[in-house]
């Protein structure tokens, strides 16, 4: 079925997707329960309705906000409302907020969409002289009215698969996409098994599934087979006469149209934060972050500050949007929020450079610990005391710089303390994040690598000696000896070597 051309809608109208809200013709927005411009009796003979039977499916392999917005038919003029949290999403629109938890995760989404009918108010009712309740305008308690609705339903099946270090992410992503494309044509056989080859059945068992839809399900699908069963039943779940459908698209009159470039700026900011969230979550899950608590502590602090800033950014954005749509402020206020964010320590470049540095530090520490195979890593001082007291001799390789303060993290913390609201005036901050990293000094790095090699060789030569323990630890406080050093514990006697 071809898509209906909306030639009878005025250019001053905007439309938005169903977001889990209850919309009706004649309702005003912002939502005020029961607030309308005309009485129900007046509308009976002035609502036009016609069938609009349409169904289709689409494969979505992208995780960008732009592509998700296109799938949900979110226009640039309304995207900022969704991104700021001003519009609370529900039903199928929850897909907009479904983000990958890790970069080591392949994801493909199957979208099902169907429409049943279209309703709209006659043009006769749209004149202000015909409004039965003009006080709605006079008091300024609403900004637009619902003039047309397309009914239907849609669903998003989000499939994920973990990708191991030995697997190629692109190959797994491609395989996932191939298998998901088969769903509309698959059948469940009498015994409840998939009509697929054995190798494909084994393949899809590794897929997990999350469901976001406008359908009432007894149990949401969690596997590939569950998804096939639910997909087959979707047309039935809408009801024989479409009685279970929801507003899929809503037309509003009038609505202030926001500058699409500003909306794109907001989108980029939130996509940058989503990317950061995956990166620091992956970093926190590494064995290195657990083995070296100072590294994990800095990552957790960075994570909390980013989440707090993002929340405040969205809250301020929502306030500005409400003020703009109520006529209290100009659209330039949104551009100002973006400019102040960019001039703050939380600008995307600095955040990403710091994360680059942490990922590199984790990689370097991992290479050192792999080198020292006959060494036990001790993450705490209490553990070190226990190990040294239980051994006749304990030789320790000590990382001395991991606990060093990082001015950039302090700048992030101070920014949040001084001004919780990121749209308040702030002076630009310049940070050379890379200069704060201990391992970027060639002299420190070369010395550390040399010591680690000597320590590793010594441990290898004495691995059969049960009287000696070889330990890797972290200095609890910053040391004058950058990088690392070695220390030997012999009962109560100790010495330091460079």
Q: Is 267 exposed, middle or buried (0-12, 13-18, 19+ CB in 10 A)?
A: buried
What's the pLDDT tens digit per position in 221-248? 999 999 999 999 999 999 988 899 998 8
What's the pLDDT tens digit per position in 263-282? 678 888 888 999 999 999 99
What's the pLDDT tens digit per position in 167-224? 999 999 999 999 999 999 887 766 667 878 888 889 999 999 999 999 989 999 999 9
Name the pLDDT band for 31 (thresholds 50, 70, 90).
Answer: very low
Query: Which percentage of the chain shows pLDDT scores above 90?
Result: 32
- Residue 449 pLDDT more than 50? yes
pLDDT the model gives residue 454: 86
Domain definitions of the chain by residue range = 14-253, 260-497
What's the pLDDT tens digit per position in 143-162? 566 778 899 999 999 999 99
pLDDT the model gives residue 386: 78
The span from the CA of 394 to the CA of 239, in Å, is 74
Give me the mean pLDDT over the 40-68 stretch: 84
The span from the CA of 214 to the CA of 152, in Å, is 9
Confidence (pTM)? 0.65
């Amino acid at each position: 079925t071809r898509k209906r051309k909306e030639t009878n809608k005025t250019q001053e109208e905007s439309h938005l997707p169903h977001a889990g809200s209850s919309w009706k013709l004649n309702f005003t927005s912002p939502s005020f329960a029961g607030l309308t411009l005309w009485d129900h009796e007046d509308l009976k003979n002035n609502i036009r309705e016609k069938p609009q039977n349409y169904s289709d499916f689409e494969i979505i392999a992208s995780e960008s906000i732009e592509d998700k917005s296109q799938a949900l038919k979110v226009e640039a003029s309304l995207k900022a409302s969704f991104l700021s949290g001003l519009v609370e999403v529900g039903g199928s629109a929850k897909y907009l907020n479904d983000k990958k938890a890790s970069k080591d995760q392949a994801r493909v989404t199957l979208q099902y969409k169907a429409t049943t009918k279209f309703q709209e108010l006659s043009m006769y009712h749209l004149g202000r002289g015909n409004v039965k309740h003009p006080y709605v305008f006079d008091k300024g308690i609403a900004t637009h009215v619902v003039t047309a609705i397309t009914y239907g339903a849609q669903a998003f099946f989000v499939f994920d698969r973990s990708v191991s270090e030995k697997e190629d992410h692109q190959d797994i992503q491609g395989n996932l996409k191939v298998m998901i494309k088969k769903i509309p044509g698959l059948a469940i056989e009498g015994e409840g098994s998939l009509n697929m080859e054995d190798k494909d059945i084994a393949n899809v068992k590794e897929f997990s599934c999350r469901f976001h839809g406008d359908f009432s399900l007894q149990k949401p699908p969690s596997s590939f087979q569950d998804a096939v069963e639910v997909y087959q039943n979707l047309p039935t779940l809408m009801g024989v006469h479409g009685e279970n459908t929801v507003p899929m698209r809503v037309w509003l009159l009038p609505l202030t149209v926001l500058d699409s470039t500003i909306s794109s700026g907001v989108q980029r900011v939130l996509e940058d934060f989503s990317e950061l969230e995956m990166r620091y979550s992956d970093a926190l899950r590494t064995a290195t972050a657990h083995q070296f608590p100072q590294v994990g502590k800095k990552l957790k602090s960075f994570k909390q500050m980013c989440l707090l800033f993002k929340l405040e950014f969205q809250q301020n954005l929502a306030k500005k949007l409400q003020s703009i749509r109520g006529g209290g402020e100009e659209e330039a206020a949104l551009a100002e929020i973006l400019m102040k964010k960019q001039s703050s320590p939380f600008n995307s470049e600095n955040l990403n450079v710091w994360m680059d540095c942490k990922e590199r530090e984790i990689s370097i520490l991992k290479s050192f610990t792999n080198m020292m195979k006959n060494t036990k890593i001790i993450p705490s001082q209490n553990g070190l005391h226990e190990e040294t007291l239980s051994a006749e001799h304990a030789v320790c390789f000590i990382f001395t710089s991991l606990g060093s303060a990082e001015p950039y993290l302090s700048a992030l913390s101070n920014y949040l303390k001084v001004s919780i609201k990121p749209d308040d005036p702030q002076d630009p901050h310049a940070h050379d994040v890379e200069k704060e990293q201990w391992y970027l000094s060639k002299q420190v790095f070369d010395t550390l690598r040399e010591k680690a090699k000597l320590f590793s060789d010594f441990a290898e030569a004495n691995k059969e000696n049960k009287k000696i323990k070889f330990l890797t630890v972290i200095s609890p406080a910053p040391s004058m000896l950058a990088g690392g050093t070695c220390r030997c514990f012999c009962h109560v006697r100790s010495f330091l070597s460079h």
